[in-house]
Structure 1
Amino acid sequence: MAVVEILVLTLLAGMSMPLGAVIARIERIRPRWLEHEFRHSVIALGGGALLSAVALVLVPDGIEQLDVKAALFWFMLGGVVFMLIDVLLNLFKTTASQLVAMLADFVPESIALGASLALGGSNALLLALLIGLQNLPEGFNAFRELRHSSKLSPWRIITLFAAMALLGPLAGLAGYLWLSHLPSTVAAIMVFAAGGILYSVFQDIAPQVKLARHWGPPMGAVLGFALGIAGHMLTS
């Protein structure tokens, strides 16, 4: 039964990526200033959801199984690894930085979700909700990046995102089957992902949110975090 739950939760969370791409594909809002503000608000929503995943699930659950030195090591390592990925993407001038960042969040979080269920954790549903919530704006943003920097057709990009959603169930099952007796390893993965996500928020997401003389986008971040709080309280 747990295997079915993992498959369903991770697949639904992953399908937020192509859903975000579909929204970006059909997005037509007028007047133009509102369309521009909407895009920034969607990005901010993802940032708020990512922060809530770090603050409400990944760090609190992770540090339960680690001492201070181990927690700080894995947290900082996550930030460093994501920074190196960023440096490499910039070095090779890739056109898919948002796509790589999206997968870099999604895969370790799915592993943590599967392992959490194996260890009897109660936050699997909340983590799945937060993963889905953050994948939606990340899919939106990654679609727009690929659409403007590659020759892929819109529906080919959406199909690619749908295929990538299958990585969630695979990662979740890997966490469930191989890490069920290794709570400290699961905790390390959670804290590692938290460090990487925090780096991504301040390196990639927050700088894209600000608009001169517009105040809606920051409220998108507040809304994203608020949805995380609601999920935390409803599933606790």
Structure 2
Amino acid sequence: MPYEIIIFAFLAGSTVFIGGILSYFFEKTVLNRKIKIEIVHFATAFATGIMLAAVAFVLVPKGMHSLSIGFSILIFLLGAIVFYFLDDYIHKNKTSIPQFLSMLLDFIPESIALGAVFIYDYNTGILLAIFIACQNLPEAFTSYIELRSSAFSKSKALTMLFVLSFTGVVFSLIGFYLLKDNPELTSSLMLFAAGGILYLIFEDIAPSMKLKNSRFIAFGVNLGFLVGMLGEALL
């Protein structure tokens, strides 16, 4: 079982670096500023749709499965509150990389949940790995551009994404070994992540993806959510 978790966690995390590499070549080859902005906003919208699908199809329903409704609500709200204060701290310190930090904040709890959930539901583990991989690709794509616009060098931005891509394996193994005998704690983590992700989506990510005179961008959310619908149907 651990080797399967390592494989799926690696595949899910590898898209962080792949997204960064794609963004690196995108920055070099696409010179038209208008097209570049539209593609970045569409990628952000697509990632948002996948994140919503992860919350709707995996994190909330699977998280509530082992918990009472009252405790589920409490943990879900706790996730939103904790992410609220983290987000507030980030803004007060004038950190100008919200997309990268959002990816980091949702990638870690999702990875822990990935390692733990494989024990109880193999298919759900695979589905969550797919969600994480699909979500990380466009998030890393836009995060690289964000890092570059915040005065990070190309090598430093790619190094940060490269390191982050492997942290998923570490946190998935932590989830496997520490939570394998505690389905209630695993469910709590999934609901906590769901609450935090929803807060970040509508506080930081969704407002930034809106583009003047381009309502088509919002369709990216639908397409991202469609990935989740297909994954749920197939597995």
Taking structure 1 as the reference length, the TM-score comes to: 0.94
- Number of the residue aligned with 1:5: 4
* Higher mean C-alpha deviation, range 154-163 or range 176-185: 154-163
Deviation of 1:164 (Å): 1.4
Query: Residue 7 and residue 99 in structure 1: after superposition, are their counterparts in 2 closer, same or farther (change >3 A)?
Result: same
- Number of the residue aligned with 1:177: 177
- Number of the residue aligned with 2:57: 56
Query: Residue 129 and residue 161 in structure 1: after superposition, are their counterparts in 2 closer, same or farther (change >3 A)?
Result: same
User: Deviations 1:172-224 (Å, cap 9, x if unpaired)?
Assistant: 11111111110100000000000001011101111112222213211111100
- Number of the residue aligned with 1:203: 203
**One-letter code of the match for 1:180?**
K
- Number of the residue aligned with 2:111: 110
Deviation of 1:30 (Å): 6.1
- Number of the residue aligned with 1:24: 23
Map 1:44-193 to 2 at 5 A: 44-150=45-151, 152-193=152-193
Deviation of 1:21 (Å): 1.4
CA distance in 2 between counterparts of 1:137 and 1:207 reads 17
**One-letter code of the match for 1:192?**
F
**One-letter code of the match for 2:225?**
F
Is the contact between residue 20 and residue 138 of structure 1 (CA under 8 Å) also seen in structure 2?
yes
Is the contact between residue 5 and residue 115 of structure 2 (CA under 8 Å) also seen in structure 1?
yes
Is the contact between residue 20 and residue 136 of structure 1 (CA under 8 Å) also seen in structure 2?
yes
Which of the pair is proportionally richer in helix? 2
Is the contact between residue 37 and residue 216 of structure 1 (CA under 8 Å) also seen in structure 2?
no
- Number of the residue aligned with 1:232: 232
- Superposed CA RMSD in Å reads 1.4
Structure 2: segments with no counterpart, 5+ residues: none
Is the contact between residue 119 and residue 181 of structure 1 (CA under 8 Å) also seen in structure 2?
no
User: Deviations 1:128-156 (Å, cap 9, x if unpaired)?
Assistant: 11101111121122211211213x32133
CA distance in 1 between counterparts of 2:95 and 2:204 reads 15
* Higher mean C-alpha deviation, range 59-68 or range 12-21: 12-21
Is the contact between residue 98 and residue 204 of structure 2 (CA under 8 Å) also seen in structure 1?
no
Deviation of 1:34 (Å): 2.6
Percent of matched pairs sharing the same residue? 37
CA distance in 2 between counterparts of 1:216 and 1:54 reads 24
